[in-house]
A and B are shown apart, each in its own frame.
Chain A
Amino acid sequence: MPLSSTTLTAVLALSGICAIPSATAADARAVESLRKEVSAKGYLVASIKQPRGDWDLVLMRPDGSEQRKLTDTPAWSEAAPRWSPDSRRLLYRRIKAGTVISHDRWGFQGELVVADAMGRKGRVLGKHPWGCWSPDGKKISCLSLKGIEILDVATGTVQRRMKRAGYFQQLFWSPDGKWFCGTANVGGELWTIVRMDVVTGKWNVVSRFRNCTPDWAPDSKQVIFSNRPSNQQGYGWTQLWIAPGNGGTRKMIYGEDGRHIYGGGLSPDGRYVLFTRCPKDGGGSERSGAAGGLMRLADAPIIGGSSPALRKLHAEAHDGPVLSLPELWEPHWTYVDVTAAR
């Protein structure tokens, strides 16, 4: 008896469904292997939007497990946490609840707070835009209309001030203390990633055209950042890239048509990459965050989803593995057990 078209369709669909799990099983095994590899490597801290509307700091294992709140403040949102280089303290911004957090100007919002590694005993330092730790944790760099300021954490006094040379947001101090990176206006091109010598003020371009949210690799030699290349149809999608600080060839780390990739950051040893995948442009801070992701840098470039146009441009790219993390914003990673009494 010949098969009806409906039955045939059902059989083909079923075979398709059966084919997907075999591929998915391999993917799942690779993801599970990655999960086991990182799950005990210290902790992440990130801002997570609460059902009541504010953001709190949440501690978790790098695989997203063992989540626990570090702050629980309905009147305030805690944003953009960063452990000090020795992981004994935590720097974050405190912004009034109800304020829409700007995905690229959050450093100008609210006040800078320094607390212990678990977010306790918070001390408001003041506005101090884009506050970022120095390598020894004794100073903080800030970026404002006045320029770049180096602030002494203990006394709150400005120790040094220098011209900002086009920087307008997202200034970060390198782990070796020699460089700043940030987003700048350069020669008519906005959203350019620039590296600056902390001592001399001399600067160079790291990546031109539609870049933002740079951060340093642990070796202070490379900069990770988001970039929306022009070689795409229409508005395009923001991807995660890495480039040498001296402006050498940049490489894509992760891209996915249908997602804007932000929040790029590396693990303390530089082997793993954190990021967020947002269906709308921006890192999700204006809404409720975005799904987090974790991958090995050695697996780069990885392309998520079908992304046919992107795969044509990066034929060498891998499909994964990428470990999914909860919806969050601006995650940061330490290998230190910050939960232990120290």
Chain B
Amino acid sequence: MTQSPLPESAPEAPPKNTVNSSARWILGAIVLVALVAVGVATALRPPSGQGVRGTTPEDTAPDGPVRTAGRFEVTARLAKMPGQFLANDGLYNYAFVLKYNVLTVHRGGDQVESTIYVAHYNPRKTRAKVADEFYPDLGGNLKRFRAGDVHRLALEEPWDEHYIGALVDRYHEVGGKRIYWAIWSNTVDNDR
């Protein structure tokens, strides 16, 4: 781009204000009433909802659809990491199996074991950026995976009915285990 030899022209002066003061007061009152109405509606919104993703208030809540996505929802502590993640430069995509100790089962009841194995898609990415054209429903506010951290997870199972791709399972010698598929992954201790 070439530079102009001339300075930019000064912006035009704003038009002269022709609104009288009483009209301004009426307009201000209308805006105030509208803001109060929005605030009250937000405060009275039910704490949770059921339904298809994209149609419930959960989708726009800070937690996202962690309370509605999948058939299982747990709060769990991430166990020792089973080695490093593979490179994830955008060329190859994979899911990585992580081990969790379950603290609370929110949904799924007695079917959820005390120790679970969860496949996370492209774990080097923040959960906010993990969704792609192949798996558009994934997400969360988790920024990284670190042993000892507590996560709130929305899950499905069995994993291979929800994901078809490379799977890094360094617990493959653990026989008979169920592997869950992580749909939504939030951090519980947000400041960590």
Which of the segments B6-14, B15-23, B161-169 contacts the partner chain? B161-169
Q: Compute how far the CA of A135 lies from the CA of B163 in the bound complex, rounded to whole angstroms.
A: 29
Nearest residue, chain B, Cβ from A185? B167
Q: Is A304 an interface residue (CB 8 A)?
A: no
Q: Are A168 and B164 in contact (CB under 8 A)?
A: yes
Q: Are B169 and A188 in contact (CB under 8 A)?
A: yes
Q: Compute how far the CA of A191 lies from the CA of B168 in the bound complex, rounded to whole angstroms.
A: 10
Q: Are A145 and B164 in contact (CB under 8 A)?
A: yes
- The B contact surface, by secondary structure, is loop
Of listed B133, B162, B164, residue having the most chain A CB within 10 A: B164
Tell me the A103-140 residues at the B interface (CB within 8 Å): 103-105, 108-109
Q: Are B161 and A168 in contact (CB under 8 A)?
A: no
C-beta contact mask, B105-138 vs A, less than 8 Å → 1, else 0? 0000000000000000000000000000110000
Given contacts A169-B165, A188-B170, contact A105 B91 (CB under 8 A): no
Nearest residue, chain A, Cβ from B165? A168
Q: Compute how far the CA of A144 lies from the CA of B163 in the bound complex, rounded to whole angstroms.
A: 9
Q: Are A105 and B169 in contact (CB under 8 A)?
A: no
Q: Tally A-B pairs: CB < 8 A.
A: 41
Q: Compute how far the CA of A315 lies from the CA of B118 in the bound complex, rounded to whole angstroms.
A: 46
Q: In whole Å, how far is B146's beta carbon from the nearest beta carbon of chain A? A: 23
> B93: which A residues are within 8 A, CB to CB?
105
Q: Are B91 and A190 in contact (CB under 8 A)?
A: no
Q: Are A144 and B164 in contact (CB under 8 A)?
A: yes
Q: Compute how far the CA of A100 lies from the CA of B61 in the bound complex, rounded to whole angstroms.
A: 31
Q: Are B164 and A104 in contact (CB under 8 A)?
A: no
Q: Compute how far the CA of A188 lies from the CA of B94 in the bound complex, rounded to whole angstroms.
A: 12
Interface size class of B (residues with CB under 8 A): 10 to 19
Given contacts A145-B161, A145-B162, A185-B167, contact A190 B94 (CB under 8 A): yes
Q: Compute how far the CA of A185 lies from the CA of B164 in the bound complex, rounded to whole angstroms.
A: 10
When the two chains form the complex, which single residue of A103, A185, A286 contacts B169, counting CB atoms closer than 8 Å?
A185
Nearest residue, chain A, Cβ from B87? A235
Of listed B134, B160, B166, residue having the most chain A CB within 10 A: B166
Q: Are A104 and B92 in contact (CB under 8 A)?
A: yes
Tell me the A141-177 residues at the B interface (CB within 8 Å): 143-145, 164, 168-169
Q: Are A190 and B168 in contact (CB under 8 A)?
A: yes
When the two chains form the complex, which single residue of A103, A105, A164, A187 contacts B134, counting CB atoms closer than 8 Å?
A105
C-beta contact mask, A280-315 vs B, less than 8 Å → 1, else 0? 011000100000000000000000000000000000
When the two chains form the complex, which single residue of A143, A169, A190 contacts B167, counting CB atoms closer than 8 Å?
A190
Q: Compute how far the CA of A129 lies from the CA of B160 in the bound complex, rounded to whole angstroms.
A: 16
Q: Is B192 an interface residue (CB 8 A)?
A: no
Q: Is B24 an interface residue (CB 8 A)?
A: no
Q: Compute how far the CA of A191 lies from the CA of B165 in the bound complex, rounded to whole angstroms.
A: 9
Q: Compute how far the CA of A286 lies from the CA of B90 in the bound complex, rounded to whole angstroms.
A: 11
Q: In whole Å, how far is B188's beta carbon from the nearest beta carbon of chain A? A: 29
> B164: which A residues are within 8 A, CB to CB?
108, 143-145, 164, 168-169
Q: Is B45 an interface residue (CB 8 A)?
A: no
> A190: which B residues are within 8 A, CB to CB?
94, 166-168
Q: Compute how far the CA of A164 lies from the CA of B169 in the bound complex, rounded to whole angstroms.
A: 18
Q: Compute how far the CA of A185 lies from the CA of B167 in the bound complex, rounded to whole angstroms.
A: 6
C-beta contact mask, B130-174 vs A, less than 8 Å → 1, else 0? 000110000000000000000000000000111111111110110
Q: Are B134 and A185 in contact (CB under 8 A)?
A: no
Q: Compute how far the CA of A190 lies from the CA of B92 in the bound complex, rounded to whole angstroms.
A: 12
Closest 9 CB pairs of A and B: A188-B172, A190-B166, A185-B167, A188-B169, A168-B164, A168-B165, A145-B164, A282-B91, A187-B172
Known contacts A109-B133, A145-B164, A190-B166, then 16 further A-B pairs from the complex at CB < 8 Å, ordered by chain A residue: A99-B133, A104-B92, A105-B134, A108-B164, A143-B164, A145-B162, A164-B160, A168-B164, A168-B167, A169-B164, A185-B166, A187-B172, A188-B169, A191-B166, A281-B91, A286-B91
Q: List 20 A-B contacts (CB under 8 A).
A: A105-B134, A105-B165, A108-B164, A109-B133, A144-B164, A145-B160, A145-B161, A145-B164, A168-B164, A168-B166, A169-B164, A169-B165, A185-B166, A185-B169, A188-B169, A188-B172, A190-B94, A190-B166, A190-B167, A282-B91
